[in-house]
Amino acid sequence: MTTRKISFTLNGEHKEFDVLPNERLLSLLRRNGFKGTKYGCLEGACGTCTVILDGKAVNSCLVFAFQVNGRSVQTVESLGIGEKLHEIQEALVSEGAVQCGYCTPGIVLSAKAMFDENPTPTVDEIKVQIDGNLCRCTGYEKILVAIDKVSKSHNQGGK
Amino acid sequence: MKPVTKMTVVNKPLRKIDSSALSQGKKLYTGDLAPEHSLYVKMLWSPHAHANIKKIDISKAEKMPGVKLVLYHENVPRIPHCTAGQGYPEPSPYDTFMFDKKVRFVGDRVAAVVAETPDQAEEAIKAIEVEYEILKPVFTYDEALADNAPIIHDEPEAFVPIPIPYEPKKNIVAKVGMKAGDFEKGMKEADFTFDELYETPYAQHCPIEGYISWAQIDPYGRIFITTSTQVPFHTRRIVARTLGIPVQKIRVIKPRIGGGFGCKQEMLLEDIVAIAAYRLNKPVLWALTRDEVFRSGRTRHPMRLRIRYGLKKDGTITAIGLDIINNTGAYGGHGLTVMSCAGSKVLPLYHVNNIHFNAISIYTNLPVGGAYRGFGATQAYFPVETMIDVMADKIGMDPMEFRKKNHIRSGEGHPAFEALGEGKPGTPMTIGSCALAECIDKGAKEIDWSKRLPHTEKTSRFRRGIGMSIHMQGSSVPEIDMGSASIKMNDDGSFNLLVGATDLGTGSDTVLAQIAAEELGTTLDKFIVYSSDTDMTPFDVGAYASSTTYLSGEAVRKTAEKVRQQILKVGQEILQKQGFSKKIEELDLHDAHVISLDGSCKVAFGDIANYSLYENNQFQIGAIESHITHKSPPPFTAHFVELEVDIETGHVKVLKYVAAVDCGTAINPQLCEGQTEGGLLNGISYALTEEYRFDEEGKMTNANFMTYNIFSMRDKPEIKTILVPSYEETGPFGAKSVSEVCINGGMPAIANAIYNATGARLKKAPFTQERVWRAIQEVKK
């Protein structure tokens, strides 16, 4: 199969990649070192590989790489650089919502996409947004509490 | 020992030490660490449930683009082994080969292709030509045990390494049983007797990171395996056996793990990546797809359970009979032990003098049973805790009062502890810490048990019900499992803590470091924890049997205690030079200093380390210690659920779930809550939706997350976790285990709540909408 060159904005930077016609965005990211996007089911059912594409949380396993040509992709590598965690990460960590942590980057990005549109979602809105991110460790309780905490902090003028 | 309330690190909800990096998506898991130029494995899996391989032609596949190696039964060692990661020698049949000339379930190994890309490997798989002789499959309990049943393991090499009942010609993997008192007499003495059949389904652990391993050859010719495993040391031993090479040739490294829940207590991929890397002298990676995880990974054993009880009108239970048939699928790795635990972790919960327990594990041509959180106890609690409600109902007693009247208490023993071990007798034990009564009271208050009405008073379409169940588990496998740790002190007063124990996402690295920090009078952030590397860390059996906190934690505490003595001595020497003459008994470790109890002098850990490394009487402050346990103290829990049943459709909505847990001292309360919440939701999901469905050929038809439904955030009820402290004298700082016990509640508590809502009794799980609806129709008749 022949490759084709595409270009898109990745975490705010203009990037060019050679992609195969059947390559998924998940595979493109991972083989280029963006390993924060994890592999879970490859069928859009677990949300582990969530990235933000033009402001929306999507499963990167269900997006062909060529489909992001000219668009904007955000991965977990853009959030919480170094010691300073993003507020969503900080809340998940401090509430004990990170157990094995494998689903966590996907949840961070699902929550980020939500907060970018609506800084103060209700508990029910959070549940709907995170419903596509499966977690087998936590029972979701602490994840919900953590994300709700971020929402409440925005409500109190935190952001 | 200072009281738990005076502790500064233990019993504190400190941050899990790896959680920040994990939340940032750092390269920490097996797949993230694989070399870029790794070759890829794809497996040709058996499409048949039971067949002989008459002929394999790999010649076309070998010539395909990118293909480096094709492995099948004619070109690999044929060494019988057991894939289950357990202590050695295992109480299990060695009934597995790297590849065999027979396939025993849909999803069994046939041949592996190693190629430059996954796509190339996939294409080459399609080019392998296999001629099968189809054999009659065995799918049901009755088919397996029938006279003249097809023999699934007819190979002459299969054997058991220790004397346990193994009768492969009858498809019998193992038998376990015990008797106490006189069961028949107990049944005769009863005012009421009960005899019911229950059934539990195949289920999968569904860690979000599936199975994944890679191997490479180091410059000295050794095989380094990086793998998502719960049992690195067992894996090293099993791979060595399977390849016919010394243990010394292999290093197993466990990085961060994306969940396991028991399914990674198994050597499942590692032999293939090891032999391929060795033959090709290149790194080789193998990751299963989700479909493959379901079909070819490990599962929760399905069981058929016959339960009999004798009961007196006053609520005395006069006899219990539990007969289990356990389907272990095509290979028998955990076939015996899972049945032992179905007895030893369940029967002791209630006072009954006359006991009959008989369990048999059978082979079938279906997916392979493995270790799964709860490990047999989860299955057995379904009938036991449902029947407790049935019996209470029969004599008109509140099921909570009935439980309180009959449950085990501190200071009591049970014959099952002594009778049921792992391929040999168990270990006699009396219960030490037990806060079960308090768990019941606190849980009942939280769910508002007093508002519970009988189902006969409910008439609307949407009917609410409240149910409960109580449970115990164990903490480690006594007299068998061993954990060890080493600690060394660095220049700046920080410490390296090396443990064989395996953090698979539970937070055990954090918990173990908290134990060490408490013992050493310093803070958690002074610890650099490294776990589960067979070259670098001391031995540990791995993460199973709820052992890490209790067993490995005590190994860590003992190690820290030794280091503590060394630090005190060096501190004393330094203080002496400074003109303070103190006896060791007059000194303590506090706030990363050696301090005198009278407050007159102190010396910092950094100064102590520098002194011992550079100044005088130099030596490395450090120690290594091991621990085995002599009992397996049970954690206890009381679960309460409130739900709503739509009697028109059979739909069950869980509204609130309460778990009150006695895990001894919670070393890290936040992590204990997390374990409880994750376990209980898995239990709810297992009760309501999770089951393998098979077609007539024994092929799973719902091997994906779209049709095998695990609970998502919107399915989650309101969850309330209540930690009820007790102090287990034999555990580190009073701790017992927590991880497994909370998965046991979902099935019986929900079954009891459905009954309380509708009057319908569910005896076959999961309680799908259809099954609940049908059960309601039965009641209407």
B551-563 pLDDT per residue, tens: 999 999 999 999 9
Cβ pairs bridging A and B (under 8 Å): 183
Q: For residue B109, what is the enclosing H or E element?
A: strand B109-115
What is the structure's pLDDT at B1?
60
Residues of chain B with pLDDT > 70, as a percent, come to 100
Q: Mention the CATH class of domain B299-477+631-780.
A: alpha beta
B112-158 pLDDT per residue, tens: 999 999 999 999 999 999 999 999 999 999 999 999 999 999 999 99
Q: Which of B654, B656, B648, B721 is nearest to B685 (CA)?
A: B654
Residue-range domain boundaries for chain B: 4-27+482-628, 34-135+211-287, 299-477+631-780
pLDDT surpasses 90 at B4: no
What is the structure's pLDDT at B214?
98
Neighboring chain A residues of B20 at a CB cutoff of 8 Å? 80, 83, 85, 89, 93
Residues 265 through 284 of chain B touching chain A, CB cutoff 8 Å: none
pLDDT tier, B636 (very low <50, low <70, confident <90, very high otherwise): very high
Using CA atoms, how far apart are residues B747 and B210, in angstroms rounded to an integer?
A: 25
Tell whether B710 lies on the interface with A, counting CB pairs under 8 A: yes
User: What's the CA dihedral at B471, B429, B193, B195 to 10 degrees?
Assistant: 60
What is the structure's pLDDT at B53?
98
How many C-beta atoms surround the C-beta of residue B57 within 10 A? 12
What is the structure's pLDDT at A157?
67
Among A19, A27, A102, pick the best mutation site for testing chain B contact (most B Cβ within 10 A): A102
Cα B574 → chain centroid: 47
How many C-beta atoms surround the C-beta of residue B299 within 10 A? 25
Neighboring chain B residues of A141 at a CB cutoff of 8 Å? 673, 677, 681, 716, 719, 721
| ∠ Cα A86 A88 A90 (to 5°) | 65
Using CA atoms, how far apart are residues B286 and B106, in angstroms rounded to an integer?
A: 20
Among chain B residues, CA nearest to A46: B705
Using CA atoms, how far apart are residues B84 and B266, in angstroms rounded to an integer?
A: 5
Neighboring chain A residues of B210 at a CB cutoff of 8 Å? 40
Using CA atoms, how far apart are residues B224 and B201, in angstroms rounded to an integer?
A: 37
Q: Check if B4-27+482-628 and B299-477+631-780 are the same fold.
A: yes
Q: Which of B551, B598, B595 is nearest to B732 (CA)?
A: B551
Using CA atoms, how far apart are residues B471 and A101, in angstroms rounded to an integer?
A: 28
B667-720 pLDDT per residue, tens: 999 999 999 999 999 999 999 999 999 999 999 999 999 999 999 999 999 999
Among chain A residues, CA nearest to B686: A136
CB contact under 8 A, B670 and A96: yes
CA distances from B687 to B417, B682, B748 (A): 28, 9, 8
- Residue range B34-135+211-287, CATH number: 3.90.1170.50
Tell me: ipTM over 0.95: yes
Q: B67: helix, coil or strand?
A: strand
Q: B607-623 burial string, b = 16+ CB within 10 Å, else e?
A: bbbebbeeeeeeeebbb
What is the structure's pLDDT at A158?
52
B580-592 pLDDT per residue, tens: 999 999 999 999 9
pLDDT tier, A155 (very low <50, low <70, confident <90, very high otherwise): confident
Contact call for residues B423 and B725 (beta carbons, < 8 A)? no
pLDDT surpasses 90 at B428: yes
Residue-range domain boundaries for chain A: 4-78, 87-155
DSSP state letter for B284 = E
Using CA atoms, how far apart are residues B558 and B570, in angstroms rounded to an integer?
A: 19
B159-175 pLDDT per residue, tens: 999 999 999 999 999 99
pLDDT surpasses 60 at A159: no
What is the structure's pLDDT at B257?
98
**Alpha helices by DSSP H, B350-420:** 377-394, 399-406, 415-419
pLDDT tier, B422 (very low <50, low <70, confident <90, very high otherwise): confident
In this structure, of A18-22, B199-203, B377-381, the range with the lowest mean pLDDT score is A18-22
CB contact under 8 A, B504 and A100: yes
Among B673, B675, B685, B713, pick the best mutation site for testing chain A contact (most A Cβ within 10 A): B713
pTM of the shown model = 0.98
Tell whether B12 lies on the interface with A, counting CB pairs under 8 A: no
Using CA atoms, how far apart are residues A88 and B333, in angstroms rounded to an integer?
A: 42
CB contact under 8 A, B25 and A137: no
CATH of B4-27+482-628, one of 3.30.365.10, 3.40.50.2000, 3.80.10.10, 3.40.980.10: 3.30.365.10
Residues 6+ apart with CB under 8 A from B700: B106, B107, B294, B295, B367, B692, B693, B694
What is the structure's pLDDT at B424?
86
B212-268 pLDDT per residue, tens: 999 999 999 999 999 999 999 999 999 999 999 999 999 999 999 999 999 999 999
pLDDT tier, B494 (very low <50, low <70, confident <90, very high otherwise): very high
pLDDT tier, B423 (very low <50, low <70, confident <90, very high otherwise): confident
* Superfamily of domain covering A87-155: [2Fe-2S]-binding domain (1.10.150.120)
Q: How many residues does chain A have?
A: 159
Q: B395: helix, coil or strand?
A: coil
Average confidence score pLDDT of chain B: 97
CB contact under 8 A, B31 and A35: yes
Residues 640 through 679 of chain B touching chain A, CB cutoff 8 Å: 670-671, 673-674, 676-679
What is the structure's pLDDT at B511?
98
Using CA atoms, how far apart are residues B155 and B168, in angstroms rounded to an integer?
A: 9
pLDDT surpasses 90 at B729: yes
In B238-354 the beta strands, taken as DSSP E runs, fall at 250-253, 284-287, 298-299, 303-311, 317-329
pLDDT surpasses 60 at B379: yes
Using CA atoms, how far apart are residues B537 and B223, in angstroms rounded to an integer?
A: 17
Using CA atoms, how far apart are residues A12 and B450, in angstroms rounded to an integer?
A: 58
B646-664 pLDDT per residue, tens: 999 999 999 999 999 999 9
Q: Which of B343, B423, B387 is nearest to B178 (CA)?
A: B343
pLDDT surpasses 80 at B30: yes
CATH of A4-78, one of 3.40.50.1000, 3.90.950.20, 3.40.50.10860, 3.10.20.30: 3.10.20.30
Among A78, A98, A150, pick the best mutation site for testing chain B contact (most B Cβ within 10 A): A98
Q: For residue B95, what is the enclosing H or E element?
A: none
B37-57 pLDDT per residue, tens: 999 999 999 999 999 999 999
